Amino acid sequence: MSRDSQLFLNLPPPVAGRGEELVPVRMVNEWVYCPRLAYLEWVEGEWAESGDTAEGRRSHRRVDEGSGRLPAPEDADDVVRRARGVTMSSQRLGIIAKMDVVDLEDGVAMPVDFKKGKRPHVAAGAYEPERVQVCAQAMILEDNGYRVEQGALWYVGSRERVPVILDDQLRARTNDAISGLRSAAMAGRRPPPLQDSPKCPRCSLAGICLPDETNLFKLGGPPRPLNPSDDAARPLHVQTPRARLRKSGERLVVDVEGKKTEVPLVEVSDVAIYGPASVTTPALHLLMREEIPVSWFTSGGWFLGHTVGTGHRNVTVREAQYRAAFEERRCLDMARGLVRAKVRNSRTFLRRNWRAAKGEGTEKDRALGRLKRIATEAETAANVQQLLGVEGEGAAIYFRFFDRMLAPTTGAEVEQFSFATRNRRPPTDPVNAMLSLAYSLLTRVFTNVTSSVGLDPYLGFYHRPRHGRPALALDLMEPFRPIVADSSVVQVINNGEVRPPHFVWNGNACALKPAGRRAFIAAFERRLEQETTHPVFGYRVTMRRLIEVQARLLTRFLQGEIRDYPHYLPR
Ligand code: SF4
């Protein structure tokens, strides 16, 4: 028995109140396996598909299709019947089960649960979480008036049936597990992660739970490289004017005047629509059902907003965020950290990419020294106004030397990609046009990721709420502006991916033409795919995944699970 589950020992399961959601018994199984896993899935609505979960679903397919009819207890005598997919609940225990199979013989019912894989060779015949699950099913049947003498587990892999003996010890353990999960859910108390457990590397939620990362802040010690590789799904950008995105079964089809490109839905993480491209209603419904966000941009790449489904069900994260956002002291602390990280990362980016031919030496040292001093000043700013001043000073120095990182080769490029100062709304030169687009794309990334982990992207700590402005996304992306956005701009100029013919002027305003925008977006997405070493945890991770980890750590910080939010500070 785990230490965490012992915390809840001997609490009788409270009778479920009217309107209280009943706990599925497979969550009771997960609670026994790992209380945090059950909590994340049941209370916080987290889910991640893995090979194991997909295989488990396949082995249940037949029983899931069952009719689920069982004769009433009073009509069960002299009946021999096998019912598949029987749904039944117990208000007393506050649980509900869809039982794979219930065998009825002469008034005695026996729940049989199907498991993928082979029977384990353990003394009790099966692992405890699985026996508890069957016991919970038996208790539901008993509460509904059926006589139950034992349960069973059917192992699909080895085609073996293992009896489950419903003794007092198993029943007590089952009651404890039900009480533990329901009490934790009612109290909004997320159990701590397991410590150094062999269960974590196999857990499909390891990338969401962040067990070792969370423990690192509490207990010290480097995390194991559990962090699952980045999701294989990627953003789908629809940029051609009048392109139409529609669905065809489980595929998305981009239709440009009869020319079609198909993408399987599982390969799409989010959709970005530019200008007058459109999405059909059935496609939008499918995307919302699958929780795949759609971001909307103007033709020029200005981020307008995003469409999501019903959103993350874990309201407790948003409650914690709202509480913190209304506390001036916490907002200032968070804002100081963000500005400090932004200035430090600007300095790091400048230091790494400063071209030797462009004033290496005293000028570089002076610029880096001033940025270092400004980053320190951010830590002690007395209020947000002062912090805005510090941030502005840092940006002015950084952009004054931004062109020291550019290395255009041809004469035309040298002229077009000369950079004097940051300007926007509208950007008046190619470098500023690309910087504006890069920040828009980064806003999309952070809006989607904050929303996907259960945060409200529109309420920040540093940026103040304004209609339609994703303030939290803007907050969290500050330290990533130089590392992801500016870095993409420097890269496309220096390697010639975007060239002078890729730009167009409308009066004073400069913008990328469609081919230039396509090339730039490809470079930006590539930057997100690049692997980097996490400066705190030490493992290799893509930038896309690192951003998600940061957003999840913020939820842990806001909910008090870790003491400090670790800002991203590459060396
Ligand atoms: S990663 Fe480990 S601690 Fe986290 S839910 Fe999975 S098994 Fe539990």
pLDDT tens readout for residues 110-136:
999 999 889 999 988 899 999 999 999
Residue nearest to atom 7 of ligand 1 (CA): 200
Which pLDDT score, from 0 to 100, does residue 333 have? 92
Residue in the block written with tokens 């430090």: 344
**pLDDT of 518 above 80:** yes
**pLDDT of 493 above 60:** yes
Atom of ligand 1 nearest to the CA of 200: 2
Which sign does the torsion angle of CA 277, 501, 421, 524 carry?
positive
Confidence of residue 224 (pLDDT cuts 50, 70, 90): low
Three-class SS of residue 230? coil
Residues in the chain: 571
**Does 220 or 348 have the greater pLDDT score?**
348
C-beta separation of 503 from 433 below 8 A:
yes
b/e code 396-430 from CB counts within 10 Å (16+ = b): ebbbebbbbbbbbeeeebeebbebeebbeebbebb
Residue nearest to atom 5 of ligand 1 (CA): 37
Amino acid at 425: R
C-beta separation of 479 from 568 below 8 A:
yes
Query: Residue 451: CB partners within 8 Å, gap ≥ 6?
Result: 293, 306, 308, 311, 312, 457
C-beta separation of 67 from 92 below 8 A:
no
Check pocket membership of 34 for ligand 1, CB cut-off 6 A.
yes
For residue range 173-183, list pLDDT tens digits in order. 999 999 999 98
Our mutation pick for probing the ligand 1 site, out of 2, 43, 194, counting the most ligand atoms within 8 A of Cβ, is: 194
Torsion-angle region of residue 496: left (phi > 0), alpha (psi -120 to 50) or beta? left
* Distance in Å, CA 90 to ligand 1 centroid: 28
Three-class SS of residue 244? strand
**Does 289 or 11 have the greater pLDDT score?**
289
C-beta separation of 117 from 126 below 8 A:
no
Residue range 200-216: average pLDDT? 87
* Distance in Å, CA 99 to ligand 1 centroid: 26
**pLDDT of 461 above 60:** yes
Confidence of residue 252 (pLDDT cuts 50, 70, 90): very high
Q: Give the strand pairing for 259-264 and 251-256.
A: antiparallel
Specify burial of residue 553 (Cβ count, 10 A radius: 0-12, 13-18, 19+).
buried
Which pLDDT score, from 0 to 100, does residue 13 have? 61
Residue in the block written with tokens 């997405």: 525
| Range of weakest confidence among 23-27, 254-258, 280-284 | 254-258
Torsion-angle region of residue 538: left (phi > 0), alpha (psi -120 to 50) or beta? left
Confidence of residue 3 (pLDDT cuts 50, 70, 90): very low
Give the chain's mean pLDDT: 86
**Does 63 or 192 have the greater pLDDT score?**
192
**Rounded Cα–Cα distance for residues 352 and 470 (Å):** 31
Which pLDDT score, from 0 to 100, does residue 423 have? 81
Amino acid at 264: P
Which pLDDT score, from 0 to 100, does residue 467 have? 66
Kindly state the tokens that stand for 280: 């059909």
Check pocket membership of 226 for ligand 1, CB cut-off 6 A.
no
For residue range 383-410, list pLDDT tens digits in order. 989 999 999 999 999 999 998 898 877 7
Which pLDDT score, from 0 to 100, does residue 6 have? 42
Peptide linkage before 264 cis (omega within 30 of 0): no
In angstroms, what CA-CA distances link 389 with 375, 432, 482? 12, 22, 19
**pLDDT of 66 above 70:** no
* Direct distance between the N- and C-terminal alpha carbons of the chain, in angstroms, rounded to an integer: 43
Which sign does the torsion angle of CA 173, 176, 178, 184 carry?
negative
Our mutation pick for probing the ligand 1 site, out of 27, 202, 203, counting the most ligand atoms within 8 A of Cβ, is: 203
C-beta separation of 528 from 542 below 8 A:
yes
Ordered strands of the 294-297 beta sheet: 234-238, 268-274, 294-297, 303-307
Helices (H) and strands (E) in the chain, counts: 20, 19
**pLDDT of 235 above 90:** no
Which of 108-112, 241-245, 365-369 holds the top average pLDDT? 108-112
- Strands (E) located in 239-396: 244-248, 251-256, 259-264, 268-274, 278-279, 294-297, 303-307
Which pLDDT score, from 0 to 100, does residue 7 have? 45
Which pLDDT score, from 0 to 100, does residue 4 have? 43
Kindly state the tokens that stand for 112: 């049989």
Confidence of residue 72 (pLDDT cuts 50, 70, 90): confident
Of the chain, the percentage scoring pLDDT greater than 90 comes to 45
C-beta separation of 297 from 273 below 8 A:
yes
pTM above 0.75, yes or no: yes
Neighbours of 317 (CB within 10 A): 20
Atom of ligand 1 nearest to the CA of 37: 5
* Distance in Å, CA 156 to ligand 1 centroid: 25
Which pLDDT score, from 0 to 100, does residue 506 have? 85
**pLDDT of 233 above 50:** yes
Query: Residue 215: CB partners within 8 Å, gap ≥ 6?
Result: 192, 193, 195, 196, 221, 223
**pLDDT of 64 above 60:** no
Amino acid at 457: P
Which pLDDT score, from 0 to 100, does residue 18 have? 62
Element (H, E) at 164: strand 160-165
**pLDDT of 100 above 70:** yes
Check pocket membership of 294 for ligand 1, CB cut-off 6 A.
no
Check pocket membership of 208 for ligand 1, CB cut-off 6 A.
no
Residue range 35-41: average pLDDT? 94
**pLDDT of 263 above 60:** yes
**pLDDT of 151 above 60:** yes
Kindly state the tokens that stand for 533: 């070493």
Residue range 301-317: average pLDDT? 79
Residue nearest to atom 2 of ligand 1 (CA): 200
Our mutation pick for probing the ligand 1 site, out of 32, 197, 212, 224, counting the most ligand atoms within 8 A of Cβ, is: 197
| Range of weakest confidence among 42-46, 300-304, 427-431, 489-493 | 300-304
Compute φ and ψ for 294, nearest 5 degrees. -115, 125
Which pLDDT score, from 0 to 100, does residue 505 have? 87
